[in-house]
Structure formats: C-alpha cells, structure tokens
A and B are shown apart, each in its own frame.
Chain A
C-alpha cells in the first residue's frame, strides 16, 4: 500500500499535539460523591438519542456508581438499525461538560453582555411567572412567544396553550425544497422521501441533489452502499466535492444556487424525448387538468376541476368514473381557451434546453443530456436531497417543485425503487401521530402572527420570548438584526443545558438536563425507522438541572395551572400510546419497558414505500403539477430564477464576490456537539474552507487567520486550504458557537430575506442562509 512512513509520523505528531486539549474542570461540588471501591453499583438503562440529525438511535447505557460509563447501540428488533455515530458516543463526555449551566441564572449586566449571577429555582420561576402574568394581563397572551429548538424532547406546548401564547416548533432551516414539494405531492414537513432508504437497493439510478448523505445520515450509510453494490448508479449533484461525492459513481459540480435550471433542463429533455409516462400522468396527476388562458386558473365547473374526456367527447369532473382524460391538447369552453397542464408544462419547459441550462449552471450540455437520459430511462430512479445545500436558498421552493414534477413525469413516485424528497429523515414509514395532552377547551394558543423568522424584522406583538435550546443563533440569519430585536424585548428566558450563544441574551437562564438525566423513570416517545422507542432515565439530574417537563410543571404551578398538566411524563406517554393508529396496537409503556424500550411497530418488515396507492396528500389527492396557490406570484409552474443575493448579476457581487454557505457536517447536528470535547479532539475550531486558488488571489496561506465580511457583519476564523470547494464559494460548517471563532459568529453575515412566495407555503419561508455574498481578507495579527 502506497503510504509513506513519513505520512504516519506526521500524523503521529499531529496526534501528540492534541495533548493541549484542555484540562479537567475542578471537581464540582454538585457531582454526587460516590465511593467506587466501597459500593460498585452497575446498572443498565435504555434510551434514544434525540439531536436533530434526522435519526433517533436507540442506546444501551451502562451506569456505574451513578455515572454514565458506556453508550452502546441498543439491540433493535431489526438488526440493521443497531447503530450509533460519533455524536452519540461523544455524549458520554458531553453530559459532564464544564459548559453545563449548573444553577438558574439572572442577568446582571446589559442584555447580551453575558453577565449573570446564580439564583435559586424559586426566585427564577417566581420572576418568570410574575412577568408572564403581567404581560398576559396587559398585552394578551400573544405578547409571549415560545420556541423549542432542535433536539428538545419536551417542548412546552401545554404552557404556551394555557398562556394563550404564540408557539412555533419549526421554522426556516432545511425546509426550502420541502415547501415546494408539498405543493406537488403533499409531502410533510422536511419533505421526507416517500420511499424509505432501505428501498434504495431496488433503484437503478440514485440522484443526490446537494445531499451529503454520508455525513448527515451516517447511520444509513449501509443502505447507500448496499444500493451501490446491488448495481445502482449513484450520481451526486453538488458544487463541492463532498464526502458523499467521494463514494458516488459520478459527480456533477454546478454553480451554487442554480439547481433549478438543471432540473428544468431535465424536464425539458423528458418532453423532448417523450420519456414521460403518459398513462401514469393521466391517472395520477393533474396533467390533464385545464388551464384557462384568461386568468391562468384551472378550469372548473361548479367546484370541480374538469378534464376533457376522450370517451364521451366532453368535459367531465377529473374524478368521474370511467373517463379517459386527454393529456394533451387545446380546448375551449364559453369562449375561454383552455390548455392541459401537461401541454402548458411542455411549453413552459420548452426554452429550458440543455444549452440554456449549461450557461446558467456551468455544467456541460452533454452531461445534462446524459443525466436526463439516465434518470428518465434507467429507472427506477430516486431523486434525493435534504439537510442544507440547495435547501437554504431564497428560491428553493421552485427546486422542490421542479424535482417533484420531474419525478412525476417519469413515474418515479409510488414505485418500488423510486422516490423523491429529503433522504435524511428517518421518519417516513409506518407512522403514528401522537396527540398532545388534552387541555380544557378554554385554553388555546395564539395563532402565530408571522413566521418566526420575521419577528426580528417586522412589527409584531411579541414582548417576551421563552426559548428552549440554542435557537436564536442557530436558526435566525443576520445575527446583528436578531440581537437588535432581542434588546427591545421585555423578557428573554432561555432554557438550556449549556452556555451557548442564545443564553448570552437571556434575562433568566433555567438549566435543563441532558436527555440522559431526569427525575422520572421514563420521559418520552419517538418513532423512527418503523420502531417506537421510549426514553428511560439513565442518571439523576446533574447539578441543579431539571427536565423541561419539570420546569414546565413548576412554572405552571406558579401560574396556578399545574392541575391541568400530566403528573409524570409516564402519564403523557400512556395517553399518547392510546392513539388508535394501527401501528401502535398492543404497544404500551409496559410492553416497551419489557422490550428494552424499543419495539417494532405493527408493520411489515419490507421497506415502506409511500403513495403506492397513488393517493396523495393534496386537495385533489393527485400529484399537482400546477400550483394555483403560487399563481398570484406568477409561479403556476416552477421556473429558474437567479439567486436573490449570491449571483454575479447582483451589483453587490463586485464588492463581495464569494458565495458563503454553512453546511452540515458529521461533527455536529446543528449547534449540538459544538462543545463536545471528544469531537473537538478531531476538529477543534471552525475553518473558513476555500479553494486555494481563491485564497491565493487574496494572499492567504493555509492556517491564516481571516476575516469573512459583508455589509451585515463579520467574523474571524482560520482559513483551511480546501481543494474540494468550487472556486467562487466558501464554506464554514454550521453550528459552531461564537466562542470557537477568533471573533464574531458566522450568522453575522448571513442573509435573512424572506421570499414573499414562501408565506402561503406549508412550512413558511425558508431562510436563505446560503444565498449570501461575502469577501474574505487576512485578519490583522493573524
């Protein structure tokens, strides 16, 4: 094997230098005293891991003398899923992190300054409750806003309901394509693939669109390799040479933000070569529906969409039995010209030729043609995206729609080995929605006034925010704008485990437990990979921390509302399991306890494939190729638009010629694990990843301290020579807390513009984090 001894020595030395990783914190007075030698107690507990990586791995945890000493994959009833990744393993250290917030804290300096003093739980909760009561009385419940972040197991939804407060539990991250796909197939939040990843082994072609599967979905990697070994051709469309690209059969690098042009060209080729599936489209989609020439709306008689029935030679309701809907052609009714959606789409895509797309995407015409042929004719084909990349662009909804349409034209939805959507979510499959805790009818949450991403930008009623997790920094772009908003509020409460960036802005900080600690025996439920899991207590709460459940309950008690809440999380679990959904039949907390906290749902063992009955979660129950919802925005069909900011056509480009993206990596799940010391041994600080050619132009050497800046703000970190990056774009992996940057924070520069078209979409506007232009220069003193 061709590795030189020098390589080993070099890495060996680098390894040795890690010795400076930081010393052990002083033994805290809060850690329980145990005498290991005198009473070695060992027990095993089962739980699952809830950061928002998309998965929920089930763990077997060993506790010795009250301390967590081992985390192993639990035995799943389906062997293939007994998995863990480096993040799950690193919890062993993270639970005991010196970054833990140990007691409730009260702000003493200016808001945002980060100066606090410890206070008692009673003082903290009394202060919060009194303030909330006052705000509700004076300004109504809607003046309070609650938001739970990534990985929070017990969002305080009941408290929000009882306060009549605004509550959202999702927002603009990684939803851009999903909002668009929802218009086409009715896909849910995050637009999960309708076929499970375990079905990829039946695919012949797999197109990964800006999807770094092998980093974001490590615990599904085996299914990627199984598909590859079974002969699927896996093609990565990604500006940069990602980890996943290294293991694909083909890599197509395109100009960032132009994916829609590429997909439109594929649609163009499908029409040009008649690769579409006529019968499939006639039966399962709105392709035969008719667009009116006058107002561009779909033609209706009464409230029924009409199609032209070839059998009777007349207009008929689209769902009338025994009809043969005409797919193509021009018609007229009452003097109004009508054209089928199919024909209109063909016309719409007529100019989206490979030559046209080649200019925009910088991918060669031939590559586009070959790609179209491969996808459309060597099926079944998967079109998979998700978790970042093209999702985080201003016009991302169009890409989600175009992708859905391409899959529909080629009959790849509701087909073994096919599918379209986000590949990284382990949710799809046999599923049961859990109900919340029933509260008396008089309690109702306020309707959210606007998507959460607008709060810092538009006038609104919010005067107090209660945040669970590192939400404010992780999920709002343009951090200086966020900070200005926070400074105007009456009250900021942060419930979290660690001293992260959101905590800095709090008036009151309430220390919560990690998911391994709790006051109760069982805490929550999740369904992933067709299994249901419950979370068992592993260790007692460390320091003075309390679970979110407990905090909600104690806050409610101060407000005189505790009697409406479940007494224990176990009560909540049992109530949820009473759901009549067939997959849950026979599953109770007792059976879960008896089965190491994990059970297979009542579901067949074969991979779940959605829409096999060709019924869709859309108003027509069909695949909707045309969107009336987006018609007011002139977007009945998706079209390629230049990126809102990161485009050479933007005058700003002269000043800030680099596209900036924040990508997910295996080392974090959003901002969780930023402080995981075990992982920091591998990668100890954020790096500005840039192609050496771009760096050279700026006189930068690998390891230089650089400043990334635009009109919104700036931050500093080290430059890492990254030949993987496409020239013209740079990257800092997402989720790093400010304290790991030499100065500032990556959100200081990011774009927070909301596309008006995003508001009517099911998940609201996406935050165009990656649609951002910056410039980089050497930082002083680097």
Chain B
C-alpha cells in the first residue's frame, strides 16, 4: 500500500521533451499520440513565450495523467475499466474498456488519449515494456506500472536530464516527494476541482 506520486520542478524543467519521448518508448505509444506532453503557456505553437519583447516569460508544463486521489475518471467509468490500484495508480483495464470516452470528458486535464484507429507504430514493431493496446480503447500514463511495480522509477523520471522530476510514496513523510511537496509548497493543478492530483508542481 502506497500513494505513489511525483513532483515536477518547473524551475528546472526546460521543455526538452525528453520525458515525452521516454514515455513514448517505454509505453509503446502509437504515432500521433503522446501520454505525456510539454505545454507552453505563451501560445499555441510549441515553445512560445508570453509577453512582448523584451518583457517576456516562458515556462513549460509537462502534463500527463495526474493520478488523482479523487479521480473523476474512475467515478464515471460505467464498466469499472478505470480504477485506482492499491498503490494509488489510476489504471485502465483495456480488456474492459468499451471506448465510451466518459472518462475523457470527465478528466479536467485532458490527458487521456483514444485509439480512434488501428494504432500505428513507427517502427512497426512493439517497443518498450507496455503491451500494445487495441483500437477503440482509452489509454494514458500508468505511472509506468511495468517499472514501478518492480521498484524502478518511471521512465520520465529516469530520463529527465534536468533532474526536474522526482518519484516516490506520498504516504511516506520521509520520501523525497513528500519532502519536496512540504518544503517547496507543491501545487496541484486546478486544485479547486477537488481531484487531489498525486503529481505536484514545484515553482
């Protein structure tokens, strides 16, 4: 039993997309889909700053499923395909998923992706550790369940060259993540929604 979570230090994040592609590789994510995206708050194009020269601001927001403790996606799933496991990961049982996309509509963070067509992989073979998902199911960040169940860090944490990400058990007050949340004042995204994300941002 644990409450697995992560902190992402936005002072360190430099929008390098390494975690994005690390996630893709690890989880066999098809083309055109990304479980983990790097947003910029300045505009629609990637890496756009806010403001006018020279008064500019730019910061990146890596965003994947936030593994909400009080997850709306779990509540609305009519077949129980989306569930919170004993270690606090929000997972999807792909065999049960009927592709109704209620969860997608209910997620305030828009982090779930749907296999509209037969998933296309480039290269054409399966890669990483996660099993391929069929057409017509929802998928998203699993907190790298294949790795974290074995005691390894999620791939995005392992590969972040800025060391902006930390992973651990939020129930353990001595874990790195608990300490960071305490000391740096970890923020939850759209806290007012009451979803209680287990991914905290440090600013």
Contact = CB atoms under 8 A, between A and B. Distances in A.
Interface of A: 1, 3, 5, 7-12, 14-15, 18-24, 27, 36, 64-65, 67-73, 83-86, 89-90, 92-93, 95-96, 214-215, 218-222, 225, 241, 243-244, 246-247, 251, 253, 666, 677-679, 681-683, 687, 691, 693, 702, 720-727
Contacts of B163: 221-222, 225
Nearest to B201: A1
A7 B53 contact: no
A15 B31 CA distance: 11
B54 A85 contact: no
A479 B121 CA distance: 36
Q: Which of B26, B45, B187, B189 has the most CB of A within 10 A?
A: B45
Contacts of A3: 39, 41, 61, 189-190
A682 B44 contact: no
Contact of A12 (B12, B110, B161): B110
B37 interface: yes
B48 interface: yes
Interface of B: 11-12, 14-18, 20-22, 24-26, 31-34, 37-39, 41-54, 56-59, 61, 63, 108-110, 113, 116-117, 120-129, 158-159, 161-163, 187-191, 201
A27 B125 CA distance: 11
A89 B18 contact: yes
Given A24-B121, A682-B17, A1 B48 contact: no
Given A23-B120, A241-B58, A726-B53, A11 B39 contact: yes
B22 A89 contact: yes
6 contacts: A10-B44, A19-B32, A89-B25, A225-B162, A678-B24, A724-B49
Nearest to A28: B124
A222 B41 contact: no
A597 B201 CA distance: 37
A722 B46 CA distance: 11
Nearest to B188: A1
Contacts of A683: 46
Given A83-B161, A241-B49, A681-B32, 9 more contacts: A21-B32, A69-B128, A70-B25, A84-B18, A89-B18, A92-B123, A214-B14, A246-B59, A722-B49
A722 B42 CA distance: 10
B51 A723 contact: yes
A671 B194 CA distance: 47
Given A70-B128, A96-B124, A225-B12, A5 B18 contact: no
Contact of A24 (B15, B120, B190): B120
Nearest to A94: B123
A743 B178 CA distance: 53
A613 to B, nearest CB: 33
A20 B32 contact: yes
Q: Is the interface of B mostly helix, strand, loop or mixed?
A: loop
Contact of A22 (B31, B126, B159, B190): B31
A221 B11 CA distance: 12
A73 B158 contact: yes
A220 B43 CA distance: 28
Contacts of B124: 24, 27, 96
Contacts of B159: 73, 83-84, 89
A772 B159 CA distance: 38
Q: Is the interface of A mostly helix, strand, loop or mixed?
A: mixed
Contact of A218 (B20, B44, B161): B161
Nearest to B127: A69
Contacts of A12: 110
B59 A241 contact: no
A241 B17 CA distance: 19
Given A95-B123, A96-B124, A724-B56, A89 B46 contact: no
B197 to A, nearest CB: 10
B54 A682 contact: no
A19 B18 contact: no
Contacts of A221: 12, 14, 16, 161-163
Contacts of B110: 5, 8-9, 11-12
Given A24-B120, A69-B127, A724-B49, A219 B161 contact: yes
Contacts of B188: 1
B8 to A, nearest CB: 12
B51 to A, nearest CB: 6
A65 B124 CA distance: 13
B39 A5 contact: no
A561 B34 CA distance: 52
A722 B12 contact: no
Contacts of A253: 54
B161 A7 contact: no
A67 B24 CA distance: 17
Given A3-B189, A70-B25, A85 B18 contact: yes
A70 B25 CA distance: 7
Q: Which of B44, B46, B51, B53 has the most CB of A within 10 A?
A: B53
Q: Which of A22, A36, A92 has the most CB of B within 10 A?
A: A92
Nearest to A722: B48
B17 A86 contact: yes
Given A1-B188, A69-B128, A7 B25 contact: no
Contacts of A71: 25
Contact of B162 (A9, A36, A222, A678): A222
B31 A681 contact: yes
Contacts of A726: 53-54
A15 B53 contact: no
Nearest to B109: A8
Given A1-B190, A70-B127, A243-B14, A251 B162 contact: no
Contact of A7 (B17, B41, B57): B41
Which 9 A-B pairs give the minimum distances between C-beta atoms?
A: A96-B123, A12-B110, A19-B32, A8-B110, A89-B21, A221-B162, A214-B14, A18-B32, A69-B127
A723 B56 contact: yes
A93 B162 contact: no
A84 B121 contact: no
A246 B17 CA distance: 16
Contacts of A89: 18, 21-22, 24-25, 159
A90 B17 CA distance: 11
Nearest to B56: A241
B41 A681 contact: no
B108 A8 contact: yes
A259 to B, nearest CB: 17
Contacts of B17: 86, 666, 679, 682
A721 B43 contact: yes
Contacts of B161: 83-85, 218-222
B158 A67 contact: no
Contact of A92 (B18, B61, B127): B127
A241 B190 contact: no
A598 to B, nearest CB: 17
A92 B14 CA distance: 23
A532 to B, nearest CB: 22
B21 A218 contact: no
Contact of B37 (A11, A219, A723, A725): A11
A11 B113 CA distance: 12
B14 to A, nearest CB: 4
Contacts of B158: 72-73
Contacts of B33: 15, 18
Q: Which of A15, A18, A64, A251 has the most CB of B within 10 A?
A: A15
Nearest to A222: B163
A703 B26 CA distance: 33
B37 A15 contact: yes
Nearest to A240: B53
Given A1-B187, A86-B16, A253-B54, A21 B31 contact: yes
A11 B64 CA distance: 12
Contacts of B53: 241, 691, 693, 723-727
A7 B31 CA distance: 23
A243 B24 CA distance: 23
B39 A7 contact: yes
Q: Which of A69, A90, A727 has the most CB of B within 10 A?
A: A69
